[in-house]
């Protein structure tokens, strides 16, 4: 087990190096002179030079790269052009909010998704299945920003149950996490359904039924436990997408998280912050994929670890 | 089965197969069409998509108002006989703007996914067939692209290239390429070992003939399903980017942008956000339902 985990972590290193390099070249890929873009139209030549020095773009590329990587290793992500504060500071104040939002969304969407999936899968071809899968395909097709607006209209403006924006109290997490979780719940429901349908074809299900077990026990103890494997994989992968999907939802609710920071930074051309956020989003994603892989191996006795 | 028996036991009767019996002959294509027709939802979705395509071609010349017809005497009016979906903050007819936006959303979705599908298919075929160094490079690139979750990659690309619809198309195309590459590569690896491909190799067929005449047709069903599914998600991603201010710029009647404009007035008027969102939802939904139906119809393992 430990050996497998270590091998997976080592296998991550090339991807990490490539991702860091891609993110490094990010600012250098911008057509034209990024320093001039940042400085703006009215900037004097001296301003542009100052920005170029600030971005470290006045040095040769290999020197910049070494500086960037050593900065990363020391936890230094540079200075935000927008707020003139260290990017790490900007990010750390908002990271908790995004993480909390993501977790809440993941938890409710997993519960709802699994229930819908099992319900549909065990009633294959009946109205329950039809209802469940129609809701699921609708959930995948809903634009998050639209759902967010409709929820704000109904529950924040008309009924005044929840605040429209912010992350000050737990109640301000309710509407964003509903918006964020809908598509994930839908994806989980679809996977759970097909996995349950596969498992229900197995011989041991027939045996369980033949020996007179209650249908509830057959479904939850025999069928669901065996389909859990694919559910875990999907949930894990969706976690990464949730972190990305949070961008749109945070913009709708003016939620003080990493996503809204990314939008602000893109609009302000705050390249050091954009760069760091993209790096963080992809790092999280890589680490989550690793955890899912290891978890999959732990849960699946059929996988031989060599 | 019955026509088989007919042919064997009674060869004389074979030429006299009636028209009715002819339609009983099952070919792979007719099987797929039959399976597809059984899914009523998918058929409806297909009809709706054809209708959207028609609108996107002729809609612009049929709309009652121009997309930039300002009318300051009719600002933010609710739905009425004259303005089916109401008017926006400049008194422009929302119905006309949404109809004209169909062309934009479909064009963005279709062109981005088509580019992604072509690039991904070629990369997948080559890396699956030749393997070795090329394969490692292509798969490493895919891994890297996959390491940026969801919309983040698209935002990163737009941040580099600048805002605008064309850049959104490029971003979404890049974003959808690795999935096609993975799917086609997996299919290529499987088909490469199949007897008919090995036979073609032994007969001395050229690599391009093997790839495009023997392997590619086997991958087409996977590509079609992924293509349909990707159009839905691409339209969603593209409209999200426009909503965030990184895609279409005013006064383009792009759906995501219409919704974003409507947000300022949403407390007083619902229709400015309701109808553009509904347009996006129904379009994406019909592509996803069609994709589901095609997947079930094209999967030979699924029997009824």
- pLDDT tier at B234 (50, 70, 90 boundaries)? very high
Which two three-digit tokens encode residue B34? 């039959």
Q: Does the structure show a pLDDT above 50 at B287?
A: yes
Measured in angstroms, the CA of A57 and the nearest CA of chain B are apart by 16
Q: Do A15 and B144 touch (CB under 8 A)?
A: yes
B87 bridge partner residues: B93
| Cβ-contact A277, B184 below 8 angstroms | no
The CA distance from B152 to the nearest CA of chain A, in Å, is 6
Q: Does B43 touch chain A (CB under 8 A)?
A: no
Is B199 near chain A, with CB under 8 Å?
no
For A177-209, b/e burial (b = at least 16 CB within 10 A) is: bbbbbbbbbbbbbbbbbebbbebbeeeebeebe
Q: Does residue B6 register a pLDDT over 50? A: no
**Is pLDDT of B149 > 50?**
yes
Answer yes or no: are the C-beta atoms of A109 and A185 closer than 8 Å: yes
Instruction: Write the pLDDT tens digit of every residue in A116-144.
Output: 999 998 888 888 888 888 899 999 899 98
**Token pair recorded at residue B131:** 């393997």
Report residue B290's pLDDT band, with 50, 70 and 90 as the boundaries.
very high
With an 8 Å Cβ cutoff, the interface of chain A facing chain B consists of 14-15, 18-19, 22, 26, 29-31, 134, 137-138, 140-146, 149-150, 152-153, 157, 240-241, 243-245, 247-248, 251, 262-263, 266-267, 274, 278, 281-282, 284-286
pLDDT at residue A108 in the model: 93
pLDDT in tens, B152-175: 888 888 888 888 889 999 999 998
Which pLDDT does position B4 carry in this prediction? Answer: 47
**Is the bond leading into B251 cis (omega within 30 degrees of zero)?**
yes
Contacts of A193 (CB under 8 A, 6+ apart): A116, A117, A118, A120, A121, A129, A132, A133, A136
Q: How far apart (Å, rounded) are the C-alpha atoms in residues B82 and B79?
A: 8
Interchain proximity A240–B149, CB inside 8 Å: yes
Q: Which residues in chain A come in under a pLDDT of 50?
A: 306
Angstrom CA distances, B231 to A118, B13, B45, B119, B137, stand at 28, 49, 13, 15, 27
What's the residue count for chain A?
Answer: 306
For A43-75, what is each residue's pLDDT tens digit? 778 888 887 777 777 778 888 888 888 888 888
| Residues 201-260 (B) with a CB less than 8 A from some CB of A | 232, 236, 239-240, 243-246, 256, 259-260
* Token pair 């071809």 in the structure block, residue: A125
pLDDT digits (tens, 9 = 90+) for B74-118: 777 778 777 778 777 777 888 888 888 899 999 999 999 999 999
pLDDT band for B11, please (50, 70, 90 cuts): very low
Which chain B residue lies closest to A30 (C-alpha atoms)?
B160
Query: Which residues lie below 8 Å from residue B218, measured CB to CB, with a gap of 6+?
Result: B187, B191
Please state whether B43 falls in left (phi above 0), alpha (psi between -120 and 50) or beta: alpha
Predicted confidence band of residue B15 (pLDDT cuts 50, 70, 90): low
**Under 8 Å CB-to-CB from A26, ≥6 apart: which residues?**
A271, A274, A275, A278, B156, B159, B160
A139 vs chain B: nearest CA distance in angstroms? 9
Cα–Cα dist A9/A12, whole Å: 5
State the number of CA atoms in the 13 A half-sphere of A82 facing the CB: 17
Nearest chain A Cα distance for residue B166, angstroms: 15
* Sole residue written with tokens 């849960």: A299
CA distance readout (Å), A197 to A25, A94, A133, A185, A225: 47, 42, 13, 18, 13
How many DSSP H helices and E strands does chain B contain? 13, 0
Write out chain B residues lying below 8 Å of A244, CB-based: 148-152
What letters, b where the CB count within 10 A reaches 16 and e where it falls short, cover B157-174? bbbbbebbbebbbbbbbb
Question: What pLDDT does residue A245 have?
Answer: 76
Between CA B238 and CA B240 the distance in angstroms is 5
pTM of the predicted model as reported, rounded to 2 decimal places: 0.85
Candidates B91, B141, B219, B208; CA nearest to A15 is: B141
Residue B21 is predicted with a pLDDT of 61
CB A261 within 8 A of CB A91: yes
């Amino acid at each position: 087990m430990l050996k497998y985990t270590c091998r997976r972590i080592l296998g991550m290193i090339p991807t990490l190096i490539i991702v860091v390099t891609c993110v490094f070249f990010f600012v250098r890929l911008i057509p034209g002179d990024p320093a001039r873009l940042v400085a703006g139209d009215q900037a004097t030549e001296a301003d542009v030079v100052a920005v170029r020095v600030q971005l470290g773009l006045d040095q040769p590329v290999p020197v910049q790269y070494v500086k960037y990587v050593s900065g990363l290793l020391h936890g230094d992500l540079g200075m935000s052009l927008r707020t003139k504060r260290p990017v790490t500071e900007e990010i750390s104040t908002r990271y908790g909010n995004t993480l909390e939002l993501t977790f809440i969304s993941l938890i409710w969407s997993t519960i709802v998704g699994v229930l819908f999936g099992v319900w549909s899968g065990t009633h294959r071809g009946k109205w329950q299945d039809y209802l469940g899968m129609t809701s699921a395909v609708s959930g995948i097709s809903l634009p998050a920003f639209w759902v967010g607006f409709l929820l704000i209209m109904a529950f924040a403006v008309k009924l005044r149950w929840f605040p429209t924006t912010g992350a000050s109290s737990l109640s301000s997490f309710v509407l964003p996490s509903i918006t964020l979780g809908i598509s994930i719940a839908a994806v989980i429901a679809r996977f759970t359904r097909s996995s349950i349908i596969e498992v229900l074809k197995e011989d041991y299900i027939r045996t369980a039924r033949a020996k007179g077990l209650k249908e509830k026990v057959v479904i939850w103890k025999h069928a669901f436990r065996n389909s859990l494997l694919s559910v875990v994989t999907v949930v894990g992968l969706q976690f990464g997408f949730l972190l990305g999907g949070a961008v749109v939802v945070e913009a709708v609710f003016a939620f003080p998280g990493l996503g809204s920071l990314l939008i602000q930074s893109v609009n302000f051309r705050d390249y050091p912050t954009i760069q760091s956020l993209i790096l963080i989003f992809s790092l999280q994603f890589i680490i989550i994929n690793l955890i899912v892989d290891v978890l999959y191996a732990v849960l699946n006795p059929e996988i031989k670890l060599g | 089965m019955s026509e088989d028996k007919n042919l064997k036991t009674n060869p004389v009767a074979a030429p006299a197969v009636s028209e009715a019996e002819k339609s009983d002959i099952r070919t792979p294509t007719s099987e797929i069409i039959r399976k597809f027709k059984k899914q009523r939802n998918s058929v409806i979705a297909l009809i709706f998509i054809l209708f959207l395509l028609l609108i996107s071609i002729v809609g612009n010349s049929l709309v009652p108002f121009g997309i930039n017809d300002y009318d300051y005497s009719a600002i933010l009016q609710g739905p009425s006989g004259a303005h089916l979906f109401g008017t926006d903050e400049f008194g422009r007819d929302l119905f006309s703007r949404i109809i004209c936006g169909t062309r934009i959303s479909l064009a963005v979705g279709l062109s981005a996914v088509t580019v992604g599908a072509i690039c991904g298919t070629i990369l997948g075929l080559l890396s699956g067939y030749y393997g070795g160094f090329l394969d490692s490079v292509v798969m490493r690139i895919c891994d890297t692209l996959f390491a940026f979750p969801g919309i983040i990659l698209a935002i990163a690309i737009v941040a580099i290239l600048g805002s605008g619809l064309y850049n959104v198309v490029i971003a979404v195309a890049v974003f959808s390429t690795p999935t096609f590459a993975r799917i086609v590569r997996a299919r290529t690896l499987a088909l490469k070992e199949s007897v008919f491909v090995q036979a073609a190799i032994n007969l001395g067929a050229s690599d391009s003939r093997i790839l495009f005449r023997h392997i590619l047709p086997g991958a087409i069903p996977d590509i079609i399903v992924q293509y349909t599914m990707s159009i839905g998600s691409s339209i969603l991603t593209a409209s999200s980017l426009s909503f965030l201010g990184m895609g279409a710029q005013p006064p383009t009647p792009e759906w995501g942008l219409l919704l974003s404009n409507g947000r300022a007035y949403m407390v007083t008027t619902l229709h400015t956000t309701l109808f553009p969102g509904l347009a996006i939802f129904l379009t994406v939904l019909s592509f996803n339902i069609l994709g589901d139906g095609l997947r079930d119809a094209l999967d030979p393992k699924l029997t009824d």
